[in-house]
Amino acid sequence: MKKSAAILTLAFSLTILNGFGQTLQNDIALVSLEPGFEFPHEEKSTAYSSGLLEEWIKDKKSAKAILGYTGEGRTVEAYYFPGSSDKKALVIGGMHGSELSSIEIAKQLVEVLSEGERPYYNVVIVPSLFPDNASKAMMRVTKQKDNIGRYTTEESVDPNRQMPQPGKAFSPKLPFDIYGRIIEKENQFLLQLIQDYSPSRIVNLHAIKDVTKAGIYADPRTDCDGYALGFSTDSSLAISMASLIESGGGKVPGNNLQQTPTALYYNDPETAPVGLFQKRNFLGSAMPNSRGYGASLGGWASTAVCDETGQRDAARLITVEFPGYQPSSAYKGEDRMACMLNVQLYVAAVSKIFLGENFIE
């Protein structure tokens, strides 16, 4: 894998608001960290086991584990950073390997937290969930329009459409999705992690080709039978993150902040009032062999699980859709600066708003 470190740094003077109208900071250093960047292996990586999370949270020290190995022998890694509270958050990058900018955001977040910024939430970050697929995308990084690396094979189901039935626990012995298809290994690592860790909030980092749809979105939480628990604070959290990005000059057009702010993804069903049944979209995109159909992480994680084997509350689920698949290193000149700034602002939205003491569950 290509090893290129921070290739471009630019000190930037900027005033951004924290989503609540207060000024946060004036200096932002723009750093471009390529998706292929590998962090130096100073600390030893431990193989993941369910007891490890408890140890991490007790020790309150940053740590790292290998969740497992991919088909091509790459590691799927998870980083832990302690928070000042006992609350737990999870951040996932690269569920779609083609969305390299999402991996850049996740890796920069690891960098920011490694430098000592202490969040309110304890956080586990999986920067690149499908590293085999991302590696295919990296080989084609100059071809801006293609979607290489989204799917593992020509027949594979969309990685974000292979979750278990909402309301049901993930079972490593029966790792099947809502339509009875086997869940890919990388997603099994993730689902096991969520089941063991039980985060109260999750950010799933994605990127979108249609840049007019870029923004920060929330899934409506429900009980295990699918009845709505209320969307207002989920929406407020997403809008606060989007406001921070926009106030710094970043792009979140899908949130429509200047007219009617929204945290609802454009093709998701309307949110149901508290206590009423919440419709979910299991159809995704129309693709051959129904590979675009299934339960998304958003639908599964934001639904409570009441199975005896894996009870947990509904998690707040924020889906980040960064404008454009490419990492900042794929652009030149002013476009590159604009992308780097945007990445930095998306990172700040996660580290300062999402991981901060805001709308606590």
Residue 94 or 167 with smaller CB distance to Zn ion: 94
From candidates 96, 251, 280, 316, binder to Zn ion by CB under 5 A? 96
CB of 216 to Zn ion, least distance (A): 14
The CA–CA distances, whole Å, from 165 to 179, 281, 298 equal 8, 12, 12
Distance of CA 234 to the CA centre of its chain: 15
Give min distance, CB of 104 to Zn ion, in A.
Answer: 14
What are the beta bridge partners of residue 277?
227
Residues 6+ apart with CB under 8 A from 303: 166, 167, 221, 222, 223, 224, 226, 314
- What minimum distance in Å lies between the beta carbon of 99 and Zn ion? 5
The answer to whether residue 206 forms part of the interface with Zn ion (CB under 5 A) is yes
Quick check: 291 binds Zn ion (CB under 5 A)? Answer: no
Q: Which stretch binds Zn ion (CB under 5 A): 179-187, 200-208, 258-266, 290-298?
A: 200-208
Contact window for Zn ion (CB under 5 A) among 176-184, 203-211, 250-258, 266-274: 203-211
Q: Considering only CA atoms, which of 99, 64, 306, 323 is closest in space to residue 211?
A: 323
Total number of residues binding Zn ion (CB under 5 A)? 3
Only one of the segments 76-84, 96-104, 254-262, 287-295 lies at the binding site for Zn ion (rule: CB under 5 A); that segment is 96-104
Judge contact between 45 and 66, C-beta under 8 A.
yes
The residue among 100 and 349 lying less far from Zn ion, judged by its C-beta, is: 100
Nearer residue to Zn ion within complex by CB, 99 or 177: 99
The answer to whether 280 contacts Zn ion (rule: CB under 5 A) is no
Contact set for Zn ion, span 153-182 (CB under 5 A) = none
Distance CA 123, CA 155 (A): 34
CA 345/CA 222 separation, integer angstroms: 30
| Closer Cβ to Zn ion, 122 or 187, answer by number | 187
Question: Which span sits near Zn ion by CB under 5 A: 199-207, 224-232, 283-291, 340-348?
Answer: 199-207
Phi/psi of residue 73, nearest 5 degrees: 85, 10
Quote the CA–CA distance of 245 and 179 in Å, as a whole number. Answer: 38
For residue 204, the minimal CB distance to Zn ion (Å) is 8
Provide DSSP, 37-88: ------SPPEEP-HHHHHHHHHHTS-EEEEEEE-TTS-EEEEEEE--SSS-E
Query: Which of these segments, 94-102, 175-183, 192-200, 234-242, binds Zn ion (CB under 5 A)?
Result: 94-102
Which residues form the interface with Zn ion (CB under 5 A)?
A: 96, 99, 206
